[in-house]
Amino acid sequence: MLKLHDVIKTYAGKSEVTALAGINLTVTAGEMVAIMGPSGSGKSTLLNLLGGLDVPTSGQVVVGGKDLARESEKGRSLFRRSKVSYIFQAYHLMPTLKVSQNVALPLHLAGVPAVEITRKVAQVLKEVGLEGRANHLPDELSGGERQRVAIARALVTDAPLLLADEPTGNLDTARGEEILNLLRAIHRERGTTIVIVTHDHNAASVCERLIKLRDGRVEGDGSPVGGGR
């Protein structure tokens, strides 16, 4: 599903920063993987490459058989719309749109017929336990509920790859755990490949595999203690 080969990413600027210093990594379809590492170790950069949001300075980023480093901007944009979905620490919901409209957005952009959108939105809101909140605005929801909306929006396109950057970072322990359990259930029931960047040891422990980054390199790769539950 995912294959990184000798991936280097530097950011130009006053002084050049090497965010990724040669990453080799394979993730099989259907895996649920945690990525941990100190702040600045390259976690978000890695996720952005996997999601086709950015391209490496050198090396290959093969996702679903396509080398994203060699795709055109148009090719990567198509990839982002159909093959991958993202959730973020800060939810990134549209504040003026109701829950159902936020969740519907990716389908609107894809030109899906209205009847189908209504059906899919109801289905994913049920899946994340928010069927009673469809007509609320994001402001009217708790942090945990907002992250559920973001997860519903990520599920609505049935993308095979879900990338999560610090998804529990703004939540208390109990709410964070609910979100992790939800991701775990999605992984189990849908077979979605999930990559979670996190500081949270609970997050790593619900995953089958833990990859540790340090200074833009893979420092460890294996089974987390208490993982795969």
Q: Can you give the binding site for ligand ADP, defined by CB under 6 A?
A: 11, 13, 17, 19, 37, 39-45
CA-closest candidate to residue 162, choices 51, 101, 85: 85
With CB under 5 A as the contact rule, which of the stretches 21-29, 40-48, 115-123, 154-162 interacts with Mg ion? 40-48
HSE (CB half, 13 Å, CA atoms) of 33? 24
Out of Mg ion, ligand ADP, none, what residue 168 binds, judged by CB under 5 to 8 A for its kind, is: none
Q: Which is closer to Mg ion, CB of 19 or CB of 152?
A: 19
Segment (H or E) for 182: helix 173-190
Locate tokens 């300075």: which residue? 57
CB 88 within 8 A of CB 153: no
The count of other CB atoms within 10 Å of the CB of residue 223 is 11
**Interacting residues with Mg ion between 43 and 62 (CB under 5 A):** 43-44
Nearer to ligand ADP, 1 or 21 (CB): 21
* Residue 198 contacts Mg ion per CB under 5 A: no
**What is the rounded distance in angstroms from the CA atom of residue 177 to the CA atom of residue 88?**
16
Q: Which of Mg ion, ligand ADP, none does 100 bind, CB closer than 5 to 8 A by kind? A: none
Q: By C-beta, is 80 or 190 nearer to ligand ADP? A: 80
Q: Which two tokens stand for residue 6?
A: 């000798």
Q: How far is the CB of 43 from Mg ion (least distance, A)?
A: 5
Q: Is 168 in the site for Mg ion (CB under 5 A)?
A: no
**What length does the chain have?**
229
Nearest residue to Mg ion, using CB? 44
